Amino acid sequence: MSRLLSLATGNLPEFTPVEVVEAAAEAGWKACGIWFDPEKWTAQTTRDTRNAFERTGLKPFDIEVVWIRPGEADPNHERLLAAGGEIGVANALMVSSDPDMDATKRRFEELCKIADKYGINACFEFLPITEVKSLPAGLDIVQSVGHPRGKLLVDALHLARSGGHPDMLKGLPADLFTYAQICDAPAKLPDMEFNTILYEAVDGRLMPGEGQLPVKELVANLPKDLPLAPEQRSRPLRDQYPDATDRAKAILDATIRFLS
């Protein structure tokens, strides 16, 4: 398969960055992402994670998460980007819980400049549980800022739960994207309350092809051969596959079957 597949770090939330890299490599992935916990991350974490990527030959793909909030800039955001730059990641995932869209745009522009300093793309993700809830809103943020490092990140679940459809991607410039996240889910939730949406996003995702979301249409409307980061955050999947490598392999196998 010519399309690069990267294991999203959210698939293995209980494991350390080094454990995620090692599990992804053992399972046969070509790339993976890492989670930056500002309370636990140290300079040694950066070195160990970089060494794990070099030792396994995996591509350091993305790092999560830069969370924009109201108020002053968070110094941990540059810590994350600096660590990502030293490790060699290509992308940093960013979201915003600031209801002031102008403030979000200013902060995102600042983050794009910092990310550029470290050779990283700033990938803005919209999702209903934040203040930038939809594809049009996320697109407005990225296009208004207009920085070459500013990219739009589409997640199949968030697109569906925000009322969007893959057809909305038609005609968008290919250079807006550096990757996308895919998963599946039922066509509808029992309700659209915050906690219901949040639970599904972190504990209730399905493998591609196991639900009713238009995932194939999403892939078809994205730029050809755009890298994909399958994110199957799922409590049942964690219970079924407590071993990191077994879980990573199950997700890879299911993704390849679906895309084939």
The per-residue pLDDT for range 23-68, each reduced to its tens digit, is 999 999 999 999 999 999 999 999 999 999 999 999 999 999 999 9
Residue type, 149: R
Whether the per-residue pLDDT at 1 is higher than 80: the answer is no
Domain count along the chain: 1
pLDDT beyond 90 at 2:
no
DSSP, collapsed to helix, strand or coil, labels residue 188 as coil
List, in order, residues 6 or more apart from 80 with CB less than 8 Å away. Answer: 36, 38, 41, 63, 66, 92
What is the per-residue pLDDT across 167-203, written as a single tens digit (0 to 9) for each?
A: 999 999 999 999 999 999 999 999 999 999 999 999 9
Asked, for residue 1, whether it belongs to a domain, the answer is no
CA distances from 88 to 65, 110, 119 (A): 16, 20, 8
pLDDT in tens, 198-221: 999 999 999 999 999 999 999 999
User: Is 148 contained in some domain?
Assistant: yes
The verdict on residue 159 lying in a domain is yes
C-beta of residue 176 within 8 angstroms of C-beta of residue 142:
yes
The verdict on residue 61 lying in a domain is yes
Q: What share of the chain is helix, strand, coil (3-state, %, to 5)?
A: 45, 15, 35
Measure the CA dihedral 179/171/104/185, to 10°.
Answer: -50
Segment (H or E) for 92: strand 91-96
Domain membership flag for residue 158: yes
- The answer to whether position 79 is within a domain reads yes
Question: Residue 28 domain-assigned?
Answer: yes
- Residues facing 122 on adjacent strands: 92, 150
Do residues 152 and 142 lie in contact, with contact meaning Cβ atoms separated by under 8 Å? yes
210: domain CATH number is 3.20.20.150
- Give the domain extent around 245: 6-259
Helix (H) or strand (E) holding 20: helix 17-27
